[in-house]
Structure 1
Amino acid sequence: MSSIRGGDFNQKIDYVFKVVLIGDSAVGKSQLLSRFARNQFSLDSKATIGVEFQTKTLEIDNKTVKAQIWDTAGQERYRAVTSAYYRGAVGAMLVYDMTKRQTFDNMARWLEELRRHADKNIVVMLIGNKCDLGNLRAVPREDAEEFAQRENLFFMETSALESTNVETAFLTILIEIYRIISKKTLSANGEPDANGSAGLLKGTRIIVPNQEPPIQKQGGCCGGSS
């Protein structure tokens, strides 16, 4: 089980992981980022113009990891930034508003764009945001789970307003990235490759009390049961 510690560290940065947030406008991408990076939520948040990013430093298994989280405007007129936005990303969060069916229906298009521009091994999580508005639900959890399993994605429902599952979602994707990058580092150093070292690096697990574990993508091994 991995040890995880948040905060600012004076020691050298071992890894920088770029994670992008994508999805329609007004689904809560900026609020998710603000909640994770600064534990803040603003009721009068304005639409993102262009691209913004924030960082948060974590310690995973005694390695210092800087998460660089990029947030982009969901409006079509800002789509020209696409290729630069995805360049170098090792993780992505596909965010929809669970009270607005159209934002979920558009996930297939966002995923197609992501796969066209990003690295094929990018770690992707589907996020159904605004789960605090359960009485307004327009996207059944089963629909999202089916989509996530079909596309081999992690899945979690969150509430940036109530801070439900936000940290868990980000940590899950960052831990999975760390697990994959660690294997690649071992392989590059002449140690056992991903197959030979599976027993060594497998089984990363995050336990957060009173929060639902994410639905696992096929072959995933973090966030829920290993």
Structure 2
Amino acid sequence: MATAPYNYSYIFKYIIIGDMGVGKSCLLHQFTEKKFMADCPHTIGVEFGTRIMEVSGQKIKLQIWDTAGQERFRAVTRSYYRGAAGALMVYDITRRSTYNHLSSWLTDARNLTNPNTVSTVSCCTNLTNPKHCLLFLEASAKTGENVEDAFLEAAKKIYQNIQDGSLDLNAAESGVQHKPSAPQGGRLTSEPTPQREGCGC
């Protein structure tokens, strides 16, 4: 017998942001597929992945939007920030400039998401932690080290915000949805598809 398609309590929307070529898509692939994807092609616009994790005994579905880091796509990808409960900012330890640009990515995230969005910085070095209230993890898409934790620690904080009431689940911009409800007859309503903004072409 097939498993129920909605075996989770909440959906959390995440965005992955950072400069081009820092490994955002590789992190997403390692997290969702548990495999290292060498020679990841550059993302055009946005990629999408999902995975269910357990947080404090609750199953949480993460909807993860992997955005392009190229400047020419930035105006387009900013539209995907709205309604994100978590933002994973990524930089490459071999390119100091990608670390220096984090403040710009953080500014975008703070301006375009809700005030309670949980931001995580992911890298694999001991460079100085940005002077903001952020979760900070060293991770490797190649070995998988701390990749799980990068997503899990943010999910724990989001769940804590739900429990203490600082995240309003009724607000459209919260980035969190309840599990789809079962209407009369016992059939679950279909899961809402991710809304892509901009033109419908």
* Kept in 2: contact 1:53–1:68 (CA 8 A): yes
What is the deviation of 1:9?
6.0
Secondary structure of the equivalent of 2:165?
Answer: helix
Q: Give structure 1 stretches of 5+ with no counterpart.
A: 1-7, 132-139, 189-226
What is the deviation of 1:83?
4.0
**What TM-score do you get using the length of structure 2 for normalisation?**
0.76
Secondary structure of the equivalent of 1:184?
Answer: coil
**What TM-score do you get using the length of structure 1 for normalisation?**
0.68
Higher helix share: 1
What is the deviation of 1:11?
4.5
* Residue among 101, 106, 129 paired with 1:106: 101
Give the number of the structure with larger relative contact order, counting CA–CA contacts within 8 Å between residues 6 or more apart.
2
The aligned residue for residue 56 of structure 2 is: 61
Q: Give structure 2 stretches of 5+ with no counterpart.
A: 170-201
In structure 1, distance between residues paired with 2:85 and 2:20: 22
* Kept in 2: contact 1:9–1:57 (CA 8 A): no
> How much identity, in percent, do the aligned residues show?
43
What is the deviation of 1:142?
4.3
Structure 2 residue 15 is matched with structure 1 residue 30: no
* Kept in 2: contact 1:21–1:71 (CA 8 A): yes
In structure 2, distance between residues paired with 1:44 and 1:105: 24
* Residue among 165, 172, 175 paired with 2:156: 175
In structure 2, distance between residues paired with 1:83 and 1:32: 20
In structure 1, distance between residues paired with 2:101 and 2:167: 38
RMSD: 2.1
The aligned residue for residue 120 of structure 2 is: 125
